[in-house]
Structure 1
Amino acid sequence: MNRFTASTVFRRLLTRNTTMTAPVWKPQDHVPQEVKDLLQSSGDNHVLAFLHIVQLLKVQRRTGWLDHNISPCESIADHMYRMGITAMLIRDPKINRDKCVRIALVHDIAEALVGDITPLDPVGKEEKHRREWETIQYLCEDLVKPYNAQAAQEIMDDWLAYENIASPEARYVKDIDKFEMLVQCFEYEKLQNGKRDLDQFWGAMSSIKTEEVKGWAQDLLRKREQFYDSLEK
């Protein structure tokens, strides 16, 4: 089921507007002032404005690591970049690797304005999805489309494919998202010489569905077990 159809989002917005008195979160309110000024200036500045917003992904740190006092830790862009590289390694001939790379590169793009919301945050799951949907519409319709309508549609389609797991490629990228996080987790565990408790992240193993990525994750888990065994000797 497509959770992000326009009618679905409209109904959710209408319900909230009639039951809540707090201001509704809007992506435009979180655009940096310099980007707003750029869009108000003369000339076609949509590409530069879009790239300035994407740059925020390079400086925003992943919340899960910050919550475990890991600093410095990877940025959202770091995570997506290695996901894209990982997608290039897919061996299954039935999978379009180029499409996987595209999906990996845009799947968290809304977090540039929304931030990296985790299940521990007070923002609920539906509200998180609403904010991300509003943001991807803003980025694609207001910033990318005026310059390149085809690119805007492709970014939107790839983002929606990931959110709705609408293709085999999206399923692979969902799994790579979890796998890359586990690789990073193991790297932090090794940096901390096994003294930092990051066990809770390894529950993501059960969410991996594709056989190829599952194999990578199982190999990673074996390496982790060997690492902790070596610390006990």
Structure 2
Amino acid sequence: MTDLPKLFEFMSLVGQLKRVHRAGWVLRNVSEPESVADHMYRMSVMAFLADDKTGLDKNRCIKMALVHDMAESLVGDLTPADAISKEDKHKHEETAMKYICGLLSDELGMELFNLWEDYEYMRSREAIFVKDLDKFDMILQAHEYEQLGKRSGDLQEFFDGTKGKFQTTQVQEWAEELDRVRMKSGASNSSIK
């Protein structure tokens, strides 16, 4: 039998992600920054768009995109500006994920935790692809903010931070096309492969 109070607490925590703004945009004074839920939603849609020729388990990619930042409902969107080590960030997020997953049935909780852990350690081809989607969504969002706020090139650091880091062919192609679009608008001066 489902423990409805725990299930509702889980749903409330997931709902909290709609109110957690992505810290990188807040720190750059972006007007009306996206939420973590916004980011996870678009990543999930991008996972749905995975080319069938890649042989990836698209359903697993979609689920992973929906789970990868779930811990931020409790710990917030921690960034290097928070002066926290990667190890401490991971410990906080792991503790949060164990709590969140404990609100679900053992089977569902284990599935969510395994998806999160796979993503964190990039143990599968799907995790590598979703990690690429995470970075690509960030630069696509930066481009959109540049366009919306007429901030041409103002968010270049996000593009520079992903240069040479995309590992999957499909996302490399998307990043190259985004770079071409930015170059046409005068916002980019270097490739982001």
TM over 0.5: yes
Displacement after TM superposition at 1:196 (Å)? 6.2
Mark the structure with the bigger radius of gyration: 1
Structure 1 counterpart of 2:76: 115
* Distance in 2 separating the partners of 1:124 and 1:168: 26
- 8 Å contact from structure 1 (residues 205, 217) kept in 2: no
The two structures have a TM-score, normalised by structure 1, of 0.76
Tell me the secondary structure at the aligned position of residue 193 of structure 1.
Answer: coil
Q: How does 1:99-138 map to 2 (within 5 A)?
A: 99-138=60-99
* Distance in 2 separating the partners of 1:186 and 1:88: 22
Tell me the secondary structure at the aligned position of residue 98 of structure 1.
Answer: helix
Structure 2 counterpart of 1:79: 39
The code of the aligned residue for 1:133 comes to E
- 8 Å contact from structure 2 (residues 152, 186) kept in 1: no
* Distance in 1 separating the partners of 2:87 and 2:125: 25
Q: Aligned pair count?
A: 183
Cα RMSD of the aligned pairs, angstroms, is 1.3
Displacement after TM superposition at 1:195 (Å)? 4.5
Task: Please list every run of at least 4 consecutive aligned residues from structure 1 whose deviation after the TM superposition is greater than 4 angstroms.
Answer: none
**1:24-78 residue CA offsets vs partner (Å, 9 max, x unmatched):** xxxxxxxxxxxxxxxxxxx740100111111110011000000000021100000
The two structures have a TM-score, normalised by structure 2, of 0.91
Structure 2 counterpart of 1:27: none
Structure 2 unmatched runs, 5+: 188-193
Q: How does 1:5-20 map to 2 (within 5 A)?
A: none
Tell whether 2:183 aligns with 1:225.
yes
* Distance in 1 separating the partners of 2:19 and 2:54: 36
Which residue, out of 111, 114, 127, partners 1:157? Answer: 114
Q: How does 1:20-31 map to 2 (within 5 A)?
A: none
Structure 2 counterpart of 1:39: none
